Amino acid sequence: YAVLVGINSYPEQPLRGCVRDVAEIGKYLEHATSRLKIQTFVTTESVDKDSTTHPTYRNVTFALRAISLEAKAGDYVYIHFSGHGTKIEPDDDFSNKTTGDLALVLLDTRDDDSVTYLTGATLARYYLDPMVRKGLVVTLVLDCCFSASVYRRDGAAVRFLPYNARNDLYDPEIAELLGPEPASRAGRNASMQKNWLMDPDGYAILTACGPNEEGGEIILESGEAHGKLSYFLRRSFSGSGGCSKPLSIIFQYLCAEFRGHAVRQNPVLYGNKDQAFFGDIVLSTNSSLQAIRSSNGELRLLAGRAHGFCQGDRFELTPSACHPALTSRDAVTHTVITRLGGLTSILAIEDATLDESQVIWDAIALTQLRLRDYPIYLHPNLPMKEHWKEALVKQRVSILKEDDSQRAAFHITPGESGDSKVRDEQERLVVTPLSPTRDGSFLQSTERIEHMTKFALVKDLVNDDCTESFRKQFDVHITTRHNQLSSGAIVAVRHKEDIRLILRNYGTKSLFFTIYDMRPSWEVCNLLRASHKEIPPPKPGDQCFQQSIKITMEVPEWVIEKGLQACDDFIKVFVTPESTLFDSLELPKLGEAKKKTSPNRNHDKQYHLTSLEQEDWAALTFHIHVSLS
């Protein structure tokens, strides 16, 4: 199912590209996906205002409710809105104090010269939540803007309308359309009901920008106007298996594309980034990194010191499978980092020339030299020690020499039954048992060792060269019932106790926070279920802008079943002055396969990136010790 809404003819501040946005998306979907029911709601001269396809509150919400009733578990639902957004100032205890209450601007059901607001709370509670509870896979794309500040700028076609309370009075017809409030799912926090955009529960939302940024239109050389998100999303679909790409991959492409524009706009992905728009996910590569050609012709890797790389690391580049002029993905180019930046790096070509028509590549790391800081000690009496050495070298894991004074990150020691155990640098048992598979292969065991060294690397990432001016722009700390603690301290809490992560911006521009939970299962997962959290600068007269995130700490059931009374989590917070992807740092649970990704899609243009010297960043680590008593 697809519901496409495009509104140009607003009574105030009409737009140019919204109808074209959904028309092109719809045209692609018709040819790309079989058995798809598409409903399009647009404002055009040929559409009667009384038509059921006019983008009114009644028509759009009726279509959403019909899908909830008609669709079966496992069906896919794609909702695309291209038009104005708005922001309602917080008005009660349940409002989101940071973003305000966000809403989509639809046409009034009875009067086409006025508008009606479909609030996020209503959309989530009455329409999206029932779909998810029924087992539908829901993706919502919002090509609009929720920032009131940009409305006051001159010129640009910004997709925002200021909220007008006269358009939001109690309407008995809308109340009748909504009916009784549906039951909430068990465990949902009532205080999060209006925080629908920040906390999608069971679905995914792709937005043109954050709630405090500008989202507008792009004008092509032909004079055609498009919403930026819709335009690049449509182009990303053109690649092989576009609708079957994981949202995370489409999002990587979008970030690279938006970054190449002079106007700052950072798309945001919330919720389940592993789902596709439609059908089974097409997976084809292990790469979660990209390299692009910058405006000065340099080959720039979209990763740097903050991602755990260093000068001399080597990468294999392959053309994006979605390049429109691509004839083969067999061309492989080997490159090396010659200039390391905080967030991006300059690559030099080692063994070939690159196609000048190509501007984006998938990058696979052949080395990660920083892992040499986490060597493995092999016990002298370890069974099959030489086989272990050979297997670890193949896995690019550093082995501590007997005469080396460096401390080992992990010790592999003999077990009682001919297998092996892994202990940490304090020789505490961390993994058991490890042994070759029936065919004598050590691959599974060495992959686990490599996984553990990468986990340790992520935990230790820190920027010792963070400038004082950048460091003064933010503060991150954790509060418990009794204490306020900064990074580096051990935060001791009880099982199921709530802590709060406090993020503050003291500067003059937005800051971007990416937050990971490093779990006892050796998993590195995104804590926010969002690509990043943008914290805007303080309002005039305020000292800072603060955001609080509640986190409930628990001892996992599998830890309790082992007879243990406590465990340790690490909360990792990255702070950057611009939107940055850290997906390459994510790890699955130990022993589970890392999800493959699908190649990204590029757009033929030159990229304008911040100079390496200006790439500031910070990384903070909070050690959380969680106990049952």
Mind listing the pLDDT tens digit for each residue in 333-373? 899 999 999 999 999 998 777 776 677 788 999 999 999 99
Distance between CA atoms of residues 425 and 400, nearest Å: 12
Provide the token pair at 235.
């182009």
Residue 441: strand, helix, or coil: coil
Contact of 112 with 170, CB cutoff 8 Å: no
> Is the pLDDT at 274 greater than 90, yes or no?
no
- Note if the bond before 433 is cis, omega within 30 degrees: yes
Q: Are strands 618-627 and 490-494 parallel, antiparallel or unpaired?
A: parallel
Q: Among 151-160, 329-338, 369-378, 398-407, which is the least confidently predicted range?
A: 151-160
What distance lies between CA 217 and its chain's CA centroid?
23
Most confident of 144-148, 221-225, 318-322: 221-225
pLDDT recorded at residue 188: 25
Contact 555, 567 (CB under 8 A): yes
Give the three-class secondary structure for 30. helix
**CATH number for the domain whose boundaries are 468-627:** 2.60.40.3880
Supply the pLDDT for residue 58: 92
CA distances from 75 to 33, 66, 280, 418 (A): 13, 14, 11, 50
Least confident of 43-52, 108-117, 123-132: 43-52
Write out the CATH class of domain 2-271.
alpha beta
Average pLDDT rounded to a whole number, residues 456-479:
97
Q: Which long-range contacts (CB under 8 A, 24 or more apart) does 554-559 make?
A: 554/495, 554/496, 554/626, 555/495, 555/626, 555/627, 555/628, 556/519, 556/520, 556/521, 558/521, 559/520
The residue whose two tokens read 């959380």 is: 624
Confidence (pLDDT) at 297: 79
pTM of the model: 0.76
Sorting pLDDT into bands at 50, 70 and 90, what band is 476? Answer: very high
**pLDDT for the residue numbered 156:** 46
Q: Where does the pLDDT of residue 91 fall: very low under 50, low under 70, confident under 90, or very high at 90 and above?
A: low
User: How far is it, in rounded angstroms, from Cα 189 to Cα 453?
Assistant: 37
What is the token pair recorded at 373? 């800081």
pLDDT at 486 > cutoff 90: yes
Read out DSSP for 270-288?
EE-TT--SSSSPP--B---
- Write out the E strands in 144-233: 204-207, 217-219, 225-227
66-102 burial: b if 16+ Cβ within 10 Å, else e = ebbeebeeebbbbbbbbbbbbbbeeeeeebbebbbbb
Q: What pLDDT is stored for residue 282 in this prediction?
A: 53
Q: What is the mean pLDDT of residues 414-420?
A: 83
Tokens of 335: 């490159």
Residue 152: pLDDT band with limits 50, 70, 90? very low
Are 2-271 and 468-627 equal in CATH topology? Answer: no
Residue with tokens 């590549």: 361
Mapping DSSP to helix (H, G, I), strand (E, B) and coil, where does residue 157 land? coil
Tell me the average pLDDT across 593-608: 46
Q: Over the chain, what is the mean pLDDT? A: 81
Written in H, E and C, the secondary structure of 320-332 is CCCCCCCCCCCCC
User: In percent, how much of the chain has pLDDT > 90?
Assistant: 44
Tokens 């405006």 identify what position? 295
Q: Which residue has the tokens 């495009």?
A: 6
Residue boundaries of the structural domains of the chain: 2-271, 374-460, 468-627
* pLDDT tens-digit map of 223-249: 888 888 998 888 777 643 467 778 887
Residue 164: predicted pLDDT: 67
Residue 519 has pLDDT above 80, yes or no: yes
C-alpha 203/C-alpha 357 separation (Å) is 37
Percent share of the chain, pLDDT over 70: 78
Give pLDDT tens digits for 153-199. Answer: 334 456 565 666 656 544 555 555 555 555 443 332 222 233 444 44
User: Closest Cα to residue 569, out of 482, 497, 462?
Assistant: 497
User: pLDDT band at residue 48, thresholds of 50, 70 and 90?
Assistant: low
- State whether residue 482 is helix, strand or coil: coil
* 74-88, 250-264, 455-469, range with the lowest pLDDT: 250-264
Report the alpha-carbon distance of residue 410 to residue 424 in Å, rounded. 5
- pLDDT given at position 148: 38
